[in-house]
């Protein structure tokens, strides 16, 4: 198993590399997950990894591997609805959410289960990376962050929870939207969004938060 091999290597060399074992472990697993020839077996192993960050990343990849098969997506996510990590549970709930697919890096209008008319109840612009809606939202089904069409890699967190990323190599020219419904602090509360580049540097990026109904 890829993860088992990585774990033994980590234990032997982490001290010499002057890097925390968990950080080195994550890097090794991510390298395996990005290798097309090893991805399928690496994803299967990573879904049961002790590190919730690895399980979360593997769940994203496994979801993508299901393609548009809704039944396969739900079957994949259901075992994680009671995961020990709140972040992993949120992703699983998003995948299983009634009324539509989990929408990481996809405009809503292109998702097969979301071809209904969408109504924007309210929009909010960020103030120093923070946003809050100015009035109670009433009946809404989702909150999304819209970043337009970026021209660089972006990694996004909201309220210290990782939401997803934009891959400029494979998604250039596409709209970048992230579902943030479950991560909201509240309809009138402030929410903090942090965007980083692939080197971990914090970026100042314009986006719009939208409360949506259908």
**103 is a domain residue:** no
**70 is a domain residue:** yes
Do 120 and 88 fall into the same domain? no
- Which tens digit of pLDDT belongs to each residue from 161-185? 888 888 887 777 888 888 888 788 8
Do 65 and 142 fall into the same domain? no
pLDDT at 122: 85
Do 28 and 59 fall into the same domain? yes
User: Which domain range does residue 58 map to?
Assistant: 2-96
Separation of alpha carbons 214 and 160, rounded Å: 28
Domain count, the chain: 2
Contact between 174 and 146 under an 8 Å Cβ cutoff? The reply is no
- Which tens digit of pLDDT belongs to each residue from 71-124? 888 888 888 888 888 778 877 877 776 434 334 333 343 333 444 456 777 888
Do 135 and 208 fall into the same domain? yes
**160 is a domain residue:** yes
Do 129 and 85 fall into the same domain? no
């Amino acid at each position: 198993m890829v993860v088992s091999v990585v774990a033994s290597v980590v234990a032997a060399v982490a001290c010499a590399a002057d890097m925390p074992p968990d950080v080195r472990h994550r890097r090794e697993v991510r390298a395996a997950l990005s290798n097309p020839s090893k991805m399928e077996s690496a994803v299967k192993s990573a879904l049961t990894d002790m590190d919730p960050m690895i399980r979360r990343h593997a769940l994203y990849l496994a979801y993508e591997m299901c393609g548009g098969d809704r039944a396969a997506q739900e079957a994949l996510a259901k075992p994680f609805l009671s995961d020990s990590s709140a972040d992993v549970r949120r992703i699983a709930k998003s995948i299983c959410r009634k009324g539509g697919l989990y929408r990481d890096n996809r405009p809503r209008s292109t998702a097969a289960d979301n071809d209904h008319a969408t109504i924007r109840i309210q929009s909010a612009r960020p103030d120093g990376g923070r946003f809050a809606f100015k009035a109670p939202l009433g009946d809404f089904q989702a909150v999304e962050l819209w970043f337009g069409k970026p021209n660089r890699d972006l990694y996004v967190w909201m309220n210290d929870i990782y939401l997803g990323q934009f891959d400029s190599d494979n998604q250039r020219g596409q709209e970048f939207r992230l579902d943030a419904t479950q991560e909201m602090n509240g309809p009138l509360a402030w929410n903090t969004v942090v965007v980083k580049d692939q080197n971990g540097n914090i970026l100042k990026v314009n986006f719009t938060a939208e409360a949506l109904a259908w």
